[in-house]
């Protein structure tokens, strides 16, 4: 693939988005299978109608350590959370790769624009949740 060809930019970005979405979907399906297998279908009918008390899922540890532990123990909730994280990461990856694609096109203004967007995005995802007073 010739990265200097502006046409290929659409192809690459389209592929990044598609792979991210498919990967996320597979992980969520896997998590759902584990969930149904370990709880039975009657208790997981939340898929069609929400029933928060059917499956106890309060206080899920969303910290990196908690998530990692959950993945090692093959926890359904941790798998689903991982799928959601992959989904959230997909647009971030798209912006990151765009920086390089514009660089390959030698389009300086857009390298700067996308790099600033990436910085804002990372700041917003990783820094703002830990600033007191930043609540949505």
Partner 1 sequence: MFFVSIFAGIFGSVVGLGGGVVVIPVLTILLGVDIHFAIGASIVAIIGTSSGAASTYVKDKVTNLRVGMFLELASASGAIIGAAVAAYTQSAALEAIFGTILLISLVPMVIKIGEDIPKSPELGGISKRLSLKGKYTETDGRVIDYNSTRPVEGLAGTLVAGVLSGLLGIGGGAFKVLSMDLAMKLPMKVSTTTSNFMIGVTAAASAGIYFARGDVDPLIAAPVALGILIGAAVGARILLRSRNTTVRKAFAAVLAIAALEMILSAAGVIP
Sign, CA torsion 3/9/13/18: negative
Other CB atoms within 10 A of residue 60 CB? 13
Number of residues in contact with partner 1, rule: CB under 8 A?
63
d(C-alpha 60, C-alpha 42), whole Å:
22
Binding to partner 1 (CB under 8 A): which residues in 94-133?
Answer: 94-95, 98, 109-110, 113-114, 116-117, 120-121, 123-126, 128-130, 133
23-56 burial, b at 16+ Cβ within 10 Å, e below that, comes to ebeebbebbbebbeeeeeeeebeeeeeeeeeebe
Instruction: Give the contact letters, 44-63, x = binds to partner 1 (CB under 8 A), - = no.
Output: --xxxxx-x--x-x-xx-x-
Interaction between residue 20 and partner 1 (CB under 8 A): yes
Binding site for partner 1 (CB under 8 A): 9-11, 13-15, 17-18, 20-21, 24-25, 28-29, 31-32, 35, 46-50, 52, 55, 57, 59-60, 62, 76-77, 80-81, 83-85, 87-92, 94-95, 98, 109-110, 113-114, 116-117, 120-121, 123-126, 128-130, 133-136
């Amino acid at each position: 693939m010739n990265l200097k060809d502006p046409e290929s930019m659409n192809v690459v970005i389209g592929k990044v988005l598609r792979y991210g979405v498919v990967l996320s979907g597979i992980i969520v399906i896997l998590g759902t299978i584990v969930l149904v297998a370990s709880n039975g279908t009657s208790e997981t009918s939340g898929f069609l109608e929400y029933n928060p008390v059917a499956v106890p899922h309060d206080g899920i540890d969303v910290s990196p350590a908690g998530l990692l532990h959950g993945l090692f123990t093959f926890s359904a909730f941790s798998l689903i959370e991982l799928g959601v994280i992959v989904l959230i990461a997909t647009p971030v990856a798209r912006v990151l790769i765009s920086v390089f694609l514009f660089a390959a096109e030698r389009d300086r203004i857009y390298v700067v624009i996308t790099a600033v967007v990436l910085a804002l995005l990372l700041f917003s995802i990783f820094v703002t949740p830990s600033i007191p007073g930043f609540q949505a």
